[in-house]
Structures are given as structure tokens and as C-alpha cells.
Amino acid sequence: HSADAFRTDLMTITRFVLNEQSKYPESRGDFTILLSHIVLGCKFVCSAVNKAGLAKLIGLAGETNVQASCQGEEQKKLDVLSNEVFVKALVSSGRTCILVSEEDEEATFVESSLRGRYCVVFDPLDGSSNIDCGVSIGTIFGIYTVKDDGEPALDDVLQPGKNMVAAGYCMYGSSCTLVISTGGGVNGFTLDPSLGEFILTHPDIKIPKKGKIYSVNEGNAKNWDGPTAKYVEKCKFPKDGSSPKSLRYIGSMVADVHRTLLYGGIFLYPADKKSPNGKLRVLYEVFPMSFLMEQAGGQAFTGKQRALDLLPTNIHERSPIFLGSYDDVEEIIALYAAEE
């Protein structure tokens, strides 16, 4: 009967979140409104990404730039466009007060007439190196509530990841998939383009306890620290009689994390001699993905501590990150502990 139920009783993301929020008697629907504005941003970016390959044909990038570095222009446009759409959608929701975007140097403080209780940190279009060849890219977001009723300040977004009230990503891939957690597990929704609605397709996602895949940019191996190098060596030449792991690396965090969540395994963006803090940004990359991993039963570790315990001091701060299946991350934790 369940197949039938799915076809005629569609669980849209709005309906799902309304159901969840109704468990809290004090809920005023603010979160649902905020989320519907995030969803609008995702739908817009999805449609823009899908048209990007046709840009020359339909004149999306503008006629003036056709000869020169048309590709570069389009790419820049898509990043900037996505950011503008998200910022405007979030501000106009009337539910936000501080926005931090990977695209903007400074945080945006929402003017008082439109101000709400939520702070949103986001990367509007992550995986920029993959745009021009049609490989999956995504949006990542995390949501905090302001600490108190005082004047909003940067401190309201410089909170540890464990304080997030929700986190998620939208992947623009072979289908458009939105994965979100509000702290009670992880759920995945797929955009039905004919309806323009995200429908629940991946209820209560749990990451396998142990996986068979590792995901890392091995081109950086020469500069890795001891534990990272030892771990990857173990993946390739296990000494306990188990089979070697497979390597999968897309270079889009959203796509690599999405596969890790569904299939299990580990995603690494470690520190190296050139970048002692790794590459990925704490607020809008490391925290949301770590939040989702923990909610799905996995772990996220920085090389020093549980990722969600980190207290950021700068909105664009970076951190090394190891996340994925519980047992796989446990191994890397042990290797770092042995270092000390």
C-alpha cells in the first residue's frame, strides 16, 4: 500500500516541516516561513544551473560577452546570481536578522523593520570548479537563533555548530535533492519539476555504520600530516585482512557528502603543510555537514575535536574536517590520539 500512498498522498517539504513544528506548542510558524524562502532560493538556483549549459543559446549570459571568456563570465554570474537570490529571499522572509554568505566578505545585518529571530549561514553555490562541465554542485545552509533580545551582533553567528537549530544542503545533480535536519534525524526531498515541489523521497536517512569508500583530494598527499597519510594508506593497503576501500572524489562537497551519507564511508578535507586549517569553511560548510552526519548516526571530527564543538572566532574561518560513517571516523580519531 505504501507505493500507492506515495503517489496520491504527497509529503511535500512544507507539509513535513509544518508537522514537525506542530510538536512545539510555542511554534509560531516562523521556521516554516523561513524554510519556504530557502526552498524558493534552491528552486531558482536549480533552474538557473539547468539552463547554464544553454546560456549561449538562449542568451542567459548577455549578448555583449559572447566572444571572449564567455565561460568565465557565466560562471561568475551563476555564483553572484545565486547569492543575490538567497540574500533577497532570506531578507524578505522577515524572519532573519543576520546572514553570512561565502560570497560576501561582511555579514549582512537585516534592517529592523524586516528583522526576525533567525541567523542563516550559507554557501549559495558550492563547487564552483564543477559548474562549467555540468558536474553536480550545491547550496549549503545552517540556521541559528539569535542568543537574546539585544541588538544583533556577530556573536550571534559565532556559535558552535551544535547550537544550530537546522542545517541542510540542496544538490543540483541528476535530480535536485534537498537534505535537511531540524535536530530530529535527517530527511531527503527530491524536486518534482512538474509540480515545482520537493517531495519526501528519503525519509529518516541513517548512514551505514561502516563504509567501503574514502573521498579525498589525494593530489595534496605530499603535504599531509602523519595521521591523514596513515589513514589513507590503511584504506588502500588494509592490514587486518579486510578489502581495500574504493576512492570516489567529485570535488563538490555537497555531492561527496551526499554520497557518503547514502552509501557510507568517509569524506576528508585535512590540513596540509600549505593550508594548516584545510580549505573548507567552518560556518557554512563544516558545521552544516557535520550536523547532518551526526543526525544520521555518523561522526564529524576536525583532527582535534568533535567538529560541532568548535567555537568560530571569524565568520569565514576554515577547519580540517573528517566526516562520515561512525566506525570509519573512529579510526581517524584513534590515529590522531596516537600522535599525542
Place of cell 564567455: 70
Q: Which is nearer to ligand AHM, 97 or 261 (CB)?
A: 261
Q: How far is the CB of 200 from Mg ion (least distance, A)?
A: 27
- Site residues for ligand AHM, 258-287, by CB under 6 A, read 269, 279
Identify which range of 183-191, 205-213, 250-258, 297-305 contacts ligand AHM by CB under 6 A. Answer: 250-258
Which does residue 214 bind out of Mg ion, ligand AHM, none, counting CB within 5 to 8 angstroms by kind?
Answer: none
Cα 31 from Cα 169, distance rounded (Å): 16
Q: How many CA atoms lie within 13 A of 2 on its CB side?
A: 2
Closest contact distance (angstroms) between CB of 143 and Mg ion is 18
C-alpha cell at 258: 551526499
Distance CA 285, CA 339 (A): 27
**Can you tell me the distance from the alpha carbon of 124 to that of 45, in angstroms, rounded to the nearest whole number?**
9
Restricting to residues 7-66, name those near ligand AHM by CB under 6 A: none
Q: How far apart are CA 120 and CA 142, in angstroms?
A: 6
Q: What are residue 98's DSSP bridge partners?
A: 109, 119
279: partner contacted, choices Mg ion, ligand AHM, none (Cβ within 5-8 A by kind): ligand AHM
Among the listed residues 123, 156, 197, 294, the single contact to Mg ion using CB under 5 A: 123
Does 294 sit near Mg ion (CB under 5 A)?
no
How far is the C-alpha of 169 from the C-alpha of 142, rounded, in Å?
9
Shortest Cβ 269–ligand AHM spacing (Å): 6
Burial class (CB in 10 A: 0-12, 13-18, 19+), 104: middle
Spatial contact of 136 and 127, defined as CB atoms under 8 Å apart: yes
Q: Which does 295 bind (CB under 5 to 8 A by kind): Mg ion, ligand AHM, none?
A: none
CB 212 → Mg ion: shortest distance, Å?
Answer: 27
- Among 126, 256, 272, 294, the residue binding Mg ion under the rule CB under 5 A is 126
CB of 240 to ligand AHM, least distance (A): 29
C-alpha span between 102 and 87 (Å, rounded): 11
Can you tell me which of 166, 176, 186, 253 binds ligand AHM, judged by CB under 6 A? 253
> Do the Cβ atoms of 113 and 92 come closer than 8 Å?
no
Answer whether 289's CB lies under 8 Å from 258's CB. no
Among 126, 156, 272, 328, binds ligand AHM (CB under 6 A): 126
- Binding positions for Mg ion, rule: CB under 5 A: 123, 126
- Binding positions for ligand AHM, rule: CB under 6 A: 126-128, 217, 251-253, 256, 269, 279
